[in-house]
Structure 1
C-alpha cells in the first residue's frame, strides 16, 4: 500500500522539480488565457469610445447650428424681399398720386379723385337718377348757388351724387382746389380734403362729356384720376369761367349739371380771392366749406 501511494504521488509531480512545478502552475487552468483582454486595454477602449461619442456630439451640434443659420438667413432674405416690395409699392403709389391724383397734379386736368376708402360700399344704381332733372341748392360758406342735375344725360353720376347728398355726405366738406390759369375750376367734395378721398366706392365710365372739350361757365362735372374713367366718386368741380379741358385716354369729364344762379357771387366771394401763396393751382386763399347741399 505504501509503495502504491508513493508511486501515485510521483506521477502527479511535474518533471523538473520545483521549477517545473512552478511552470506547470503558471500553465494550469486557473491562470488567465493568453487571448483574454488585459485591464489596461479595456480602459483604453472605453476612453476611445467616449472620445468617439464626444466627437459625434460635437459634429451633430455643429450641423444643427449650421442648419439653424441657413434657416435664419433664408427667413431674413424673405423678410428683406417683402420689405423691399412694400417700399417699392409705396414709392410707386406716391409717385402716381403726386403726378395724377393729388395737389401736385398738372393744372391742365381737374384733380382726379378718389382713392376709394378701405370699406367699399355698393355703387348706387343709375335707376335712382329717375331719368329726370333734379333741382337744388349748394351753399359754399355763405354763398348760395342754385343748381340742376341732369339725370337723363348722366344717370350713374347723378344717381351717386343724389344718394350722397341725401345721406348728408357732403355736409362740412371742403373745396380744396382752385385753378386760375388755363382752366378755371373750384373742386370740392373730398372727405380727406386733399384730392385723395372718396365715398368708399368708385364708378365709370365717363358720361355726357363735351365732344369739343369746352366746359362753359357754370358747368358742374365729376373729377377723376387721370386716364382712369372708373375712378369717379364724390369729388366734383364747378367751372366759374369758360374752360377748355383736354380729354385724356379715358375721355373727358362727366358733366352732371350746371349752376343756374349765383355764379357771380361765387366769383366775387371765393374765386376772385385767388390761390394761396399766389399760385395758380392749389388751396383757395379763402377757405371754402360746403355748408348745405340739397336736391329734389
Structure 2
C-alpha cells in the first residue's frame, strides 16, 4: 500500500513537472512573440522617423533647382521679399525717363573694395534700366553701399549689391518698371548685370542689381524674369574671388552674405 502511494505521488510529481515545463515554454514563446512585435514596432517607428527626418531635411535643404525655383518667387535677386502688385508705381516723378538712355551705350567702372570691374550698360535693349542706373551713379548713390548677398550654387552664382540699408531692403519710394531685355530661356550668362526686384512684380525694380559670375539659371516668377541692363567687360574674376571666399549662410549653404564684406567704392558711367 505504501509503495503504491509513493508511486502515485511520484507520478503526480512528474506530471506537475511536465506541466511546469510546458507552461514555461508557453511563457517563453509568448515573450518571444511579444518581443518580436515590439522590435518590429520599433523598427517601423524608426523607418517612419527616418522618412520624416528625410522629408524634413529635404524640405529644409532642397536641391539646387528646387531652391532656385523657390527663390524665383520671393528670394531670387530681389529688392524685397514681399510681393506686391504689378501695377505701375505712382512715383514716376522720382524715376528718370527712359528716353534719356534710349539708343545709348554707357561704359564705366564699378570699383569694389576687392577690385575694379569694367561695365557696359545697354540703353538700346533696356532704356529704362540704363536711365535709372546712370542717374544713380551720377548722384553718387552707390558709393559706400554693400554687396550684401552671394550665391554659390552649382548653376546659381550671383553677387547682389545696392541695397539702401545694406541688408537687402529696398526703397519703397523708388520703384519702377517695366521689365526689359528678359532672357527667354531663364539663362543669365556669366558677366550679366541684371536688376533685382520684388518678387512677382514687374514694377518692383529699385536700386539693387546683381552681377552673374558664372552661368546661372533663374526661373521666371509670375511677373517674368529679370531685366538685363548690361554686362561686365573686365574684372569678373574679382567677383569670382569673392565667391571663392565663401558665404555666411542665411537661406542655405549656398546663399548668404560674403564672408569677406564687399562694399562699393564708386560706380561711374559715361
TM-score normalised by L of structure 2: 0.66
Aligned to 2:266: 292
Aligned pair count reads: 189
CA distance in 1, matches of 2:224, 2:269: 28
User: Residue 107 of structure 1: CA displacement?
Assistant: 4.2
- Are residues 1:110 and 2:76 paired? yes
Deviations 1:257-296 (A, max 9, x none): 000111123212x111111148311111010000111000
> Among residues 203, 206, 209, which one is paired with 1:230 in the alignment?
203
CA distance in 1, matches of 2:173, 2:150: 24
User: Residue 106 of structure 1: CA displacement?
Assistant: 4.7
Aligned to 1:279: 253
User: Residue 154 of structure 1: CA displacement?
Assistant: 0.5
Mark the runs of 5 or more structure 1 residues left unpaired by the alignment: 1-104
| Pairs within 5 Å for 1:21-100 | none
Aligned to 1:179: 151
Secondary structure of the corresponding residue to residue 111 of structure 2? strand
- Are residues 1:218 and 2:186 paired? no
Distance 1:106 1:179, change over 3 A: farther
Aligned to 2:174: 201
Higher strand share: 2
CA distance in 2, matches of 1:239, 1:202: 22
Aligned to 2:100: 128
CA distance in 2, matches of 1:183, 1:276: 16
User: Residue 198 of structure 1: CA displacement?
Assistant: 2.9
Secondary structure of the corresponding residue to residue 207 of structure 2? coil
CA distance in 2, matches of 1:136, 1:199: 28
In the TM superposition, structure 1's runs of 4+ consecutive aligned residues that sit over 6 Å from their partners are none
| Pairs within 5 Å for 1:10-25 | none
CA distance in 2, matches of 1:265, 1:203: 30
2:121 touches 2:229 (CA, 8 Å); kept in 1? yes
- Are residues 1:160 and 2:132 paired? yes
CA distance in 1, matches of 2:174, 2:158: 24
2:114 touches 2:262 (CA, 8 Å); kept in 1? no
2:103 touches 2:123 (CA, 8 Å); kept in 1? yes
Secondary structure of the corresponding residue to residue 217 of structure 1? coil
TM-score normalised by L of structure 1: 0.60
1:111 touches 1:195 (CA, 8 Å); kept in 2? no
Distance 1:290 1:106, change over 3 A: farther
1:107 touches 1:183 (CA, 8 Å); kept in 2? no
CA distance in 2, matches of 1:176, 1:138: 16
Mark the runs of 5 or more structure 2 residues left unpaired by the alignment: 1-68, 83-90
CA distance in 1, matches of 2:256, 2:171: 19
Aligned to 1:68: none
